[in-house]
Amino acid sequence: MMPRAASGAAGPAGAAGGAPPALPISALLAGALSLLVGAVYLALDPAVLTGYLGSPRVLATTHLLTIGFVTLVYLGTLQQLPAVLLVTDLAWPRMGLLSLPLFVVGCVLLVSGFAVGVAPRLLASGGILLTVALGLAFSQLLATAATRPPRDPGGRGLITAVAYLFLTVFFGLLLAGARASPQLATITGYPASLHQLFGLAGAFLLGIAASGQKLLTMFALSKGGKTWRLTALTYAIHVAMIAALARAVLPLSGGGDGFDQPLKWLALAGLASAAALQLWEVMAILRRRLRKRLEAPVLRYVASHAFLPLSGVLLLFGLPEAATASFLLGFVGLAVSGMLVKILSFLTWTSVYARRGRREQPPLLRDLVVPWLEPLITWGLALGALATSAAIAMSSEPAAVIAAGALVIGAAAQLAQVVVIVQRTLFGVRRAAPAVAPVSAGVAKGSKA
């Protein structure tokens, strides 16, 4: 079959580009550092997991995890991921020079605002900066998509997830405003559940599902999943978000008394359907894979999905806080951690070896990773997630101590891994032999027809 030149793809022959590599690399490193800071902060007083979960320390830790780690890694990958998912060049590739520092400063202010005992000015200024930074990132993604509208549910899901992320921070800002101003609260209510739901399901679950479908397919050399499942998952999340929004808004307009429970169950059904579809999709991709031996970070991504049913079970048993911990630390934390290592390897390698005139044989991506750190990351974070859920569910201080210790180990191993990846790429590493001998001997034996 004769090859034909690409059509419709961006850049020369369909090659697509992202931002300057230093931008996403910095964001990913800062994200890994945030997770460790959060874990150490929790370890200073692990008993907080057995007390009131709205305490400043718990809120500071939670936001270090959700914003400092997950969202910052997400924003970092958004500097490169659109090129892969949308197959087009990133619009305004230097926008990250503005949005990422704004986001980091906003994160520091917000977390500090919680850590010092809920300081309204710090929270407000942090929230505003985060909203502006995410607004810029969302605009950049929309401008990128405008040059090549996404034709698959993965690309559309990525854009939708970032929209939900923006709304999550916006609801957080409203929540802070409502707590500071009773007048505002009479208008907006206290959108805490919207803040959590839009973040956990709208941004994180949909973001992982949308980007993971393409990335897992690539890394597992799979024939892929089914586009209808990701489309259905996206609609299921929309249903859950709309139901939750209606449940929050109807009482403010003085109505909706009889709708509260139906809307609650509709939201839960949407979430359960989305989680089930994601599990089905991942299993289908794995079943159709040709690469049987998956790398450790990819296995971590896959393993994260075990926390989806666990979160559902905890929710069924009336333990929503433990379910949230399982979902956030277990599913989101492990999935993001797995992709963090893979994506960082790609980014750093590309930043060095795309330069002209390098004659030495570049290392393989797996040469950049320290193998023995991988189980520490996976088991540390997984045990940390399980023990955190147990500590919350059973008010168990020993479980809280185990949780904090395991999270510190996992987060420290992850930070060490990402630092080593950057260090080995920049300063060189002994290159392993290729998995297959080059074909030169075969070529010599070949015959021309």
Partner 1 sequence: MTSMLENDNWSTTTEFKENDPKVPAVAVLEQLSRVIDPELGIDIVNLGMVYVVAVDGADVAIEMTLTTPGCPLHASIEEQVRTRVGELDGIGDISVDLVWDPPWTPMAMTEEAKRSLGF
Question: Does 430 participate in binding partner 1 (rule CB under 8 A)?
Answer: no
Identify the residue among 354, 370, 419, 426 touching partner 1 (CB under 8 A).
354
Shortest reach from residue 220's CB to partner 1, in Å: 10
| Contact status, residue 305 vs residue 278, Cβ threshold 8 Å | yes
Q: Say how many residues touch partner 1, by CB under 8 A.
A: 64
Torsion angle, alpha carbons of 302, 306, 312, 318, to 10: -140
CB-wise, 94 or 291, nearer to partner 1?
291
| Contact status, residue 92 vs residue 156, Cβ threshold 8 Å | no
Site string for partner 1, 183-222 (x = CB under 8 A): -------------------------------x---xx-x-
Between 373-394 and 307-316, two packed helices, what is the crossing angle to 10 degrees? 0
What distance separates the 2 farthest-apart alpha carbons in the chain? 84
CB-wise, 84 or 111, nearer to partner 1?
84
CB-wise, 85 or 392, nearer to partner 1?
85
Distance (Å, rounded) from C-alpha 350 to C-alpha 328?
Answer: 31
DSSP result, 96-111? HHHHHHHHHHHHHHHH
For the beta carbon of residue 435, count every other beta carbon within 10 angstroms: 7
Choose one: 1-9, 29-37, 55-63, 113-121; the region binding partner 1 (CB under 8 A).
1-9
Distance (Å, rounded) from C-alpha 300 to C-alpha 331?
Answer: 10
Shortest reach from residue 384's CB to partner 1, in Å: 29
Q: What's the CA angle centered on 335, arms 223 and 266, to 5 degrees? A: 90
Shortest reach from residue 128's CB to partner 1, in Å: 33
Residues 287-316 that bind partner 1 (CB under 8 A): 290-293
Residues 221-240 that bind partner 1 (CB under 8 A): 221, 223
Q: Amino acid identity, residue 6?
A: A
Shortest reach from residue 79's CB to partner 1, in Å: 11
Shortest reach from residue 402's CB to partner 1, in Å: 36
What is the DSSP secondary structure assignment for residue 363, as one 8-state letter?
Answer: P
Question: Does 162 participate in binding partner 1 (rule CB under 8 A)?
Answer: no
Choose one: 35-43, 318-326, 402-410, 429-437; the region binding partner 1 (CB under 8 A).
429-437
| Contact status, residue 88 vs residue 10, Cβ threshold 8 Å | yes
Question: Does 18 participate in binding partner 1 (rule CB under 8 A)?
Answer: yes
Q: Which residue has the tokens 């790398």?
A: 295
CB-wise, 183 or 448, nearer to partner 1?
448
| Contact status, residue 289 vs residue 220, Cβ threshold 8 Å | yes
Identify the residue among 253, 254, 258, 356 touching partner 1 (CB under 8 A).
356
For the beta carbon of residue 146, count every other beta carbon within 10 angstroms: 10
Shortest reach from residue 381's CB to partner 1, in Å: 24
Residues 66-105 that bind partner 1 (CB under 8 A): 80, 83-88
What is the DSSP secondary structure assignment for residue 16, as one 8-state letter?
Answer: -
Residues that bind partner 1 (CB under 8 A): 1-7, 9, 12-18, 80, 83-88, 214, 218-219, 221, 223, 290-293, 346-347, 349-350, 353-359, 361-366, 432, 434-440, 442-449
